[in-house]
Chain A
Amino acid sequence: MISTASPQRARYLAGLSLFVFILLWHSIASWLATPVLPEPIKVAEVLWSEIHNGDLIHHLGMTLFRLTLSFIIAMILGSALGILLGRTPTIDHFFDNWLIIFLNIPALVTIILCYVWFGLSEVAAILAVVVNKLPNVIVTLREGAKSLDKDLLEMAQSYRLSRKKILTQVIWPQLHPYFMAAARSGIALIWKIVLVVELLGRSDGMGFQLHLFFQLFDVASILAYTLAFITVIQVIEISVLKPLDHYGRRWQR
């Protein structure tokens, strides 16, 4: 028999699973008793002191700044190009190969090339992240633009709606789910790439710090930074992306 869990019960289960996870971590760590797997409480102490001395805030801030900027650029540029390709078959056929090439260039290669060509600068770092994310956004939005409802477009045309109305009221709501899909997978992808970008060519940010801790074999700090980062990303997901998604679906039955 399938029983539907009440929201209360679901919250309880989520809390319990987190508790079990920490307990498991703690037991393994104290059983192994090795510096390369510190106990949760040790990580919490490091986290607290790093927050307190301001290091973590600074580096996390830099990473979030790069993440936000490259995310916004990639989403805006990617949406515009995706819609253009989806609506004009000629341009789409022409650039299809380019997209496939860019989709398949390894992230590391674009990062290295950006640093080699444009120097170890902030612009090169952001550019490397954008170039990595852009093809994904274009492909997702292109699919959306290709599957627009022809009936509604004809309606808009026969009632002679302005281009602005057609774009904002007829086309955009149909693309919203594709945009949200691109945004969600975008954040997950971008923050991983940002760390590599920082590791290879920046002197601040999460990636730089992790590289430093790696050289010192300081696993407690690595885990503390990871924990802080996961928390921030989850907060963004819950406070920004979920409400946005929900708002976009308010009309659905």
Chain B
Amino acid sequence: MTEINLTIEQKKFPKSNQPQSENIIADLNLNIHSGEFVCLIGPSGCGKTTLLNLVAGLDENYQGKITFGAPHNDCRIGYVFQNPRLLPWRTVRENIELVLPRHTPSHTIDDLLASMKLTATQDTYPQRLSLGMSRRVALVRAFAINPDILLMDEPFVSLDAPTARKIRKKLLTLWEQQFHTVLFVTHDLREAITLADRLIFLSSSPMTIVRDVKITVPRPQRFDDRQIESFRHELLSKYPDLTPLL
């Protein structure tokens, strides 16, 4: 668990020294509290993935500052990418063991695999898994390191509705056990309302914060579709400027 403070003055793409590069993020300031679940919502291609990569330290080519509550190197980051990004030449279990320090007790992995119903497929190679299963493995991998910060980039996109719903429930159960700080990218408002404490609406080119909304639906009622729907309706009628962002 740790807080995240983001101040991004400018992020250009592809490289800041090239003349034709365009500004994709400008004047974005965001403070995320420790243990908070934040959803980032914005049109596709607006730079949400780029933002996650900045937080993950994959891209250091920007002007601004990103600080965590803990020093950078002590901060464990779990990243669930848009594609599962599993090593195809390692089995499900080996893929998870890969990111863990040596001598991690095996029950840590066993419990997570069991909770995602992956125990039977732990010795399978990823190419033989369905997309839904691969996504669950990627989730287990991110949770296994017990991250301080969990970055998730549309992790449930292109899953069928019942599967996605099940995995969302699993995600919340796991999150409520550990309370990692979560940054979750999505363009599905219903999903965001179901999961998050707080919604950040982003505009495209250059990306900046349009609105910052707290979700008032209590946690136990998050899987009640009517509650979600009414909150969504209220939100969109209160702020009509959000509709084009979805």
Q: Which residues of chain B come closer than 8 Å to A251, judged between CB atoms? A: 88-90, 125, 127
Q: Find the B residue at minimum CB distance from A172.
A: B89
Q: Which of B75-83, B176-184, B208-216 contacts A (4 or more CB under 8 A)?
A: B75-83
Q: Find the A residue at minimum CB distance from B124.
A: A251
Known contacts A165-B98, A251-B88; is-contact A155 B79 (Cβ 8 Å)? yes
Q: Which residues of chain A come closer than 8 Å to B57, judged between CB atoms? A: 157-158
Please tell me if B103 contacts chain A, counting CB pairs below 8 Å: no
Expressed in whole angstroms, the minimum distance between the Cβ of B180 and any Cβ of chain A is: 15
Quick check: A158 and B87 within 8 Å, CB to CB?
no
Expressed in whole angstroms, the minimum distance between the Cβ of B75 and any Cβ of chain A is: 10
Quick check: A159 and B79 within 8 Å, CB to CB?
yes
Count, chain B residues at interface, CB 8 A:
23
Q: Identify which of A152, A161, A253 contacts B99 (C-beta below 8 A).
A: A161
How distant is the Cα of A160 from the Cα of B148 in the complex, in angstroms? Answer: 14
Quick check: A253 and B127 within 8 Å, CB to CB?
yes
Quick check: A151 and B81 within 8 Å, CB to CB?
yes
B interface footprint on A131-158 (CB within 8 Å = 1, 0 otherwise): 0000000000000000000011011011
B interface footprint on A164-178 (CB within 8 Å = 1, 0 otherwise): 010001100100000
Q: Which residues of chain A come closer than 8 Å to B78, judged between CB atoms? A: 159
Q: Which residues of chain B come closer than 8 Å to A152, judged between CB atoms? A: 85, 87
Which parts of A63-103 form the interface with B (CB within 8 Å)? none
26 CB-based A-B contacts, threshold 8 Å: A151-B81, A152-B87, A155-B79, A157-B56, A157-B57, A158-B57, A158-B58, A158-B77, A158-B151, A159-B77, A159-B78, A159-B79, A159-B98, A160-B76, A160-B77, A161-B99, A169-B98, A170-B87, A173-B89, A251-B88, A251-B90, A251-B127, A252-B127, A253-B125, A253-B127, A253-B128
Lowest 7 A-B CB distances belong to which pairs? A251-B125, A173-B89, A159-B99, A158-B79, A158-B56, A155-B85, A251-B89
Query: Which B residues are within 8 Å of any A CB, using their own CB?
Result: 53, 56-58, 76-79, 81, 83, 85, 87-90, 98-99, 125, 127-128, 141, 145, 151
